[in-house]
Structure 1
Amino acid sequence: MFEKVLIANRGEIALRIHRACREMGIQTVAVHSTADADAMHVRLADESVCIGPPSARDSYLNIPAILSAATITGADAIHPGIGFLAENAQFAEMVEEHGFAFIGPTADHIRIMGDKVTAKSTVKNLGLPVVPGSDGPVASLDEAEVIARSIGFPVLIKAAAGGGGKGMKVARSPETLREAYQLARGEARAAFGNDEVYIEKYLGHPRHIEIQLLGDMHGNCVHFGERDCSVQRRHQKVIEEAPSPALNAEQRSFIGDLAARTTAAIGYRGVGTMEFLFEDGQFYFIEMNTRLQVEHTISEMITGIDLVREQIRVATGAPLGYGQADIRFEGHAIECRINAEHPETFLPSPGRIDGYHAPGGLGVRIDSALYDGYRIPPHYDSLIAKLVVHGSTRNECLMRLRRTLEEYVIGGIDTTLPLHQRIIAQPSFIDGAYDIHWLEQLMAKGS
């Protein structure tokens, strides 16, 4: 087992990793920018190292500074967390080249799955269903037109190296293809330094279903059920729940087992998530995230398994020690991502927390690094808290969520708490009748 882990991240996920380490008897090292000197994960860690000024480029993305911090503190391993360098293959390689364990998959797996075209080709060859589209990057507008006509409009043009909705455009007719193609390439170049795009059939009313996976270094792999992440705004997840209200027992068993077999076939180690679109009873692979997910919490709540702890264990070389039949699924869980943003305009709202009260009670979990008096810096992602509730049934879970949203107080700034209250009050959400376009359609109606 590791004796000391450096956490190369910030905010609630850094605190989450710190807690798992401490419960395993592992000391922690927090790295931080000057803007995060008073952050909770810095206060609680056994040691802390300032690695640069507020800009993420000069701190949390500064690989030499992070490796230096690991060296001077005598860390055994580095946990990349979520975002920043978590899916950077070069970082994973450099961590291991400098003698530290990387708590994550191999650099090769990060590289393969980080390119959506390569990932799609890899899993397709292993039997996973994929969305109809181009077999690789589309080299020209002429080629794009040929492919789009062959699969039928509307089509989705997507950045090969992308994610989070950047470099993604819909062309609903031949007349709109040119503009969508050019805009997608331009966004991809600006966001990822790579303007390669590919084309997929655009699905009208899909659900976004993902499977939580874990593999060890001995060829074993299990899944922890599915999560429904269809409540999205601009391709960013807002609310997630597990299990999905859209799947029956046969469907969830089918896609879970298929994803686990595929993951084992590529020799994957660590936690990962395969994401699918689901429409008319069919699953279509879209990507694999080679890291811990923000929404890992709801999988933990329905299985009772600490995924961060398991992630650390397999990074030491330990076998899973259990099989798929040993994982039990109980009840229902929902996560609300709380952002420091205006609930209607979505303008960022950094600033000082003036009054903070977190809800509690049976089945309630708050993953957050907030505290009264803390000043949220303007330099990073606006996610400030994850409100997670669990109930024996989906209805019990929804009632508990309604109550906790009413109790939650984050004063001094704007937050998206009112948006979540509005969402869960909608009859279509209560009925589980939503897809990936549902939230934006709700917001467009203004009710």
Structure 2
Amino acid sequence: MISRQEEPPRALLAGASRRWVRMVPWVVAVVLCAALLPTTIHVLAVDAGLDGGLASGLAVAQTVPLLLAVVRPLHAWYVILAADVAGALAMLTVDLPAGVVWPYPPTAVVGYVGLCLALGLREPRLRLLVVWLTTAGVSLALSFAAPGGTSGSGILMTVLGGVALVLGGALRERYEAQRRLAEQETISEAERGRRTLLEERARIARELHDVVAHHMSVITVQADTAAYRLEGLAPEVRQEFTSIAATARESLGEMRRLLGVLRNEETPHGELAPQPGLTRLGQLVEATVRAGVPVDFTPCDAEVPEAVGLSAYRIVQEALANVVRHAPGAATRVSVTVTEGDGARLDVLVVNGPPPEQPAAPFETGGTGHGLVGMRERVRLVGGALDAGPLPEGGFRVAARLPLSEGDFT
């Protein structure tokens, strides 16, 4: 059976935000160890009359593990409790002078209380109860062997140790409650932000539906019924109305997919519909030609990632729309090619010349300025590069390089 690897232990108060608070347990442990070690040696060797080597060994076992208590207080408790009991039994082997405190000298009581405080800050309630009951049981057992004339320091250590355990446990639970409250506040803030985002998306969806979709529906209906409402239309005019209706219906379909994305965050149904790609560039060019813009189109039937094909389609769509709006009638060239090799990429090029000498008035005299921004965002999504700008002899050039390897996407 494979055992789960334990996480490395953390020091007491390691989660505090301030550095000086994180250093407090280490400072207290070092001070206690430095103060209690020589004092304990003196008490055991001089006051109790134990052998110097034995007294030194017991003193080290009773005080040095306080440094371990900062990281593993329960392990330190095992060592210190055993050392305190061993010291009490060792003092029974000599004639204790009058006034010597037994079974636990004052230095042992101080160190044990500090250890219990560390235990309270780390261990759960049940384990703290077991520690206190063990302390009380050991002290009670030692009391039956108490030599005459000694004070019962076992009761004192049991009471003070219990107080330290309760105090440490209360501090730990208070900290945990504050941490959970902070986490809940963070979650609530995130939920409020998410709700605000969803409300804004719903508002945008309503605006798109009520304004844009409504007008597009009107255009579709008018274009579809023009042949029945208007008599004597020429075949070319009927075909133009048919083309307008088809384009409007396609725009309505894309609008519905967009509304689905905005209104449904988890599983937007609009994402299930096939997205336009290289195979639909021909339809886009035909619609532009019908709008009066001569286009020289070099198609590409290569298999490319869906994201790359969609980006190429949108770039060509926006570039041709800009030609129709700002340079109607200008000769335009659209080229889509694949460059093989290690850095395989899809090159998209849309170049238009200057408009005719006597052009008709542009279809739009202003714009949102979002076209080039949208192109750059789409190119950035697939890790490509975009070069767009006016030409010296007039006209405009849009060139995009879209990597075909998914590993190149950034």
TM-score, normalised relative to structure 1: 0.20
Higher strand share: 1
Higher relative contact order (CA 8 A, sep 6+): 1
Mark the structure with the bigger radius of gyration.
Answer: 2
Higher helix share: 2
TM-score, normalised relative to structure 2: 0.21
